[in-house]
């Protein structure tokens, strides 16, 4: 077994502590990665706090992982020692069902294996990227383009693909009017990506505090949702709305902003249910959908797209001892725009 240093949490109200975890010996198609950076996602916080259901503690979160290959199994063909790679929100799937065969492993009909808080094919709990090393099957490892630094690459493995996938699926591009609800870790990536796709991009944020940043990231318009006039002015305007907010909002008010056949896609994952008024949808044949990351093929496509268009997240690099503080600041919306852990501080 391979020993890795990590930061683990022992319960929903516990602080992170230094820990050692075991990584399996390399199987024939496995890749050993020395992790250099790990992003902090709001999903990490929901899971660590036990807000999405029972958790098998101790837990090592982290599914925005960037590092260097240090060893490979004897049958690995895609990677070799020294390669710059990433790992996102899943580390395995059945590989056999229709969805897996179509490159949609995130929707595996037998259930994907999450990077942390999951159970792998060996029956062992998975532990994530707040650690120095991880072992992953080669088919779930991504190649990081040379012109993207590893620290900014890490959040692309969740925040990047979580926003790229619905924009890609629902056809964001020239002539499309796209709104992004929220300007946090997910939202600022959605703005950058939608702008690069050629869409007209509007940010809908609680206030105008980040308006200057929004325009710098590529937004064409920026409105405050705490102003009731916003909803009157923009009624029936958007083809696609990407809701990145992980808190409960008045979702029906946002439906009114969609045009005929417009779609609102939730990528934020609030712990509370969102009540939906059917008439708010049926009046203009509007749709309410949700999206979850992307498959491995699409994630690599996203990385290459970001490399081509020089798209990287705005980050604040922290040490391993600052994780608890970072969680508090994320919950207080006090980060611009993604925390990334320097794993060398483990």
pLDDT of residue 270: 73
Spatial distance between the Cα atoms of 24 and 135, rounded to a whole number of angstroms: 7
Which range marks the domain in which residue 274 is found? 160-290
Answer whether residue 176 is part of any domain. Answer: yes
d(CA 327, CA 253) in angstroms, rounded, equals: 29
Do 213 and 341 lie in a common domain? no
Contacts of 66 (CB under 8 A, 6+ apart): 35, 36, 37, 38, 84, 85, 86, 144, 150, 151, 153, 154, 157
Dihedral, 179, 182, 184, 186 alpha carbons, nearest 10: -50
Mean of per-residue pLDDT scores for the chain: 96
What percent of the chain is predicted at pLDDT more than 70? Answer: 100
Q: Clarify whether residues 153 and 223 are in a common domain.
A: no
How confident is the model at residue 152, as a pLDDT? 98
pLDDT score for 246: 80
At residue 49, the pLDDT reads 94
Which residues is 140 bridged to in the sheet?
A: none
Rounded to an integer, what distance in angstroms lies between the CA atom of residue 76 and that of residue 92? Answer: 15
- Locate the DSSP E strands across 16-144: 17-23, 30-39, 65-72, 84-87, 90-92, 113-114, 133-137, 142-143
Q: Average the pLDDT over 109-137 and give the result.
A: 97
Mean pLDDT of 64-91: 98
Give the mean pLDDT of 289-311.
97
**Shared domain check, 284 and 323:** no
CA distances from 202 to 7, 183, 215, 219, 223 (A): 38, 11, 9, 6, 8
Residue 297 forms part of a structural domain = no
CB 144 within 8 A of CB 66: yes
* Number of domains making up the chain: 2
pLDDT band at 333 (very low <50, low <70, confident <90, very high): confident
Same domain, 143 and 166: no
Whether pLDDT at 271 is above 80: no
What per-residue confidence (pLDDT) applies to 249?
87
pLDDT at 62: 98
**Closest Cα partner for 181 from 120, 139, 125, 230?**
230
Alpha carbons 273 and 288: distance in angstroms, whole number = 14
52 band by pLDDT with thresholds 50, 70 and 90: confident
CATH, residue 193: 3.40.50.720
| pTM of the shown model | 0.94
Confidence of residue 192 (pLDDT cuts 50, 70, 90): very high
pLDDT at 31: 98
Contact assessment for residue 5 and residue 62, using Cβ atoms and an 8 Å cutoff: no
pLDDT of residue 274: 82
Asked if pLDDT for residue 56 goes beyond 80, the answer is: yes
**3-class SS of residue 133:** strand
Where a domain ends, among 274, 290, 306? 290
Residue 82, domain CATH: 3.90.180.10
- Model confidence at 83, pLDDT cuts 50, 70, 90, reads very high
Confidence of residue 289 (pLDDT cuts 50, 70, 90): very high
pLDDT at 273 over 90: no
Segment among 5-9, 108-112, 164-168, 334-338 with least mean pLDDT: 334-338
255 vs 240: CA distance, rounded Å: 10
Quote the CA–CA distance of 103 and 118 in Å, as a whole number.
20
Residue 173 has pLDDT above 90, yes or no: yes
Residue 274's SS3 state is: coil
Q: Is residue 304 one of the residues assigned to a domain?
A: no
- CA 152/CA 173 separation, integer angstroms: 25
Q: Are residues 319 and 214 part of one domain?
A: no
């Amino acid at each position: 077994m391979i020993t890795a240093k990590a930061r683990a949490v022992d319960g929903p109200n516990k602080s992170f502590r230094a820990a050692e975890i075991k990584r399996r010996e390399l199987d024939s198609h496995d890749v050993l990665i020395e992790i250099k950076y790990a992003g902090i996602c709001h999903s990490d916080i929901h899971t660590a706090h036990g807000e999405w259901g029972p958790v098998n503690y101790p837990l090592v979160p982290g599914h925005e992982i960037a590092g260097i290959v240090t060893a490979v199994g004897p049958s690995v063909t895609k990677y070799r020692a020294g390669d710059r790679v990433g790992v996102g929100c899943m580390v395995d799937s059945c590989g056999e069902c229709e969805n897996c065969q179509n490159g949609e492993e995130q929707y595996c009909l037998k259930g994907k294996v999450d990077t942390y808080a999951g159970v792998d094919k060996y029956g062992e709990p998975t532990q994530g990227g707040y650690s120095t090393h991880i072992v992953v099957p080669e088919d779930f490892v991504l190649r990081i383009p040379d012109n993207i630094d590893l620290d900014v690459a890490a959040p692309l493995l969740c925040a990047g693909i979580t926003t790229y996938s619905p924009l890609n699926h629902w056809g964001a591009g020239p002539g499309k009017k796209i709104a992004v609800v929220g300007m946090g870790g997910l939202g600022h990536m959605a703005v950058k990506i939608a702008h690069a796709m050629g869409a007209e991009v509007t940010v809908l944020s609680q206030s105008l505090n980040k308006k200057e940043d929004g325009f710098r990231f590529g937004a064409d318009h920026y409105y405050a949702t705490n102003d009731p006039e916003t909803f009157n002015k923009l009624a029936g305007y958007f083809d696609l709305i990407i809701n990145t907010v992980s808190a409960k909002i008045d979702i029906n008010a946002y439906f009114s902003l969609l045009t005929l056949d417009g779609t609102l896609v939730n990528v934020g994952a609030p712990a509370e249910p969102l009540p939906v008024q059917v008439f708010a949808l049926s009046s203009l044949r509007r749709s309410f959908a949700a999206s979850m990351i992307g498959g491995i093929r699409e994630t690599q496509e996203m990385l290459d797209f970001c490399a081509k268009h020089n798209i990287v997240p705005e980050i604040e690099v922290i040490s391993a001892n600052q994780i608890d503080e970072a969680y508090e600041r994320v919950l207080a919306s006090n980060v611009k725009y993604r925390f990334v852990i320097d794993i060398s501080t483990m």
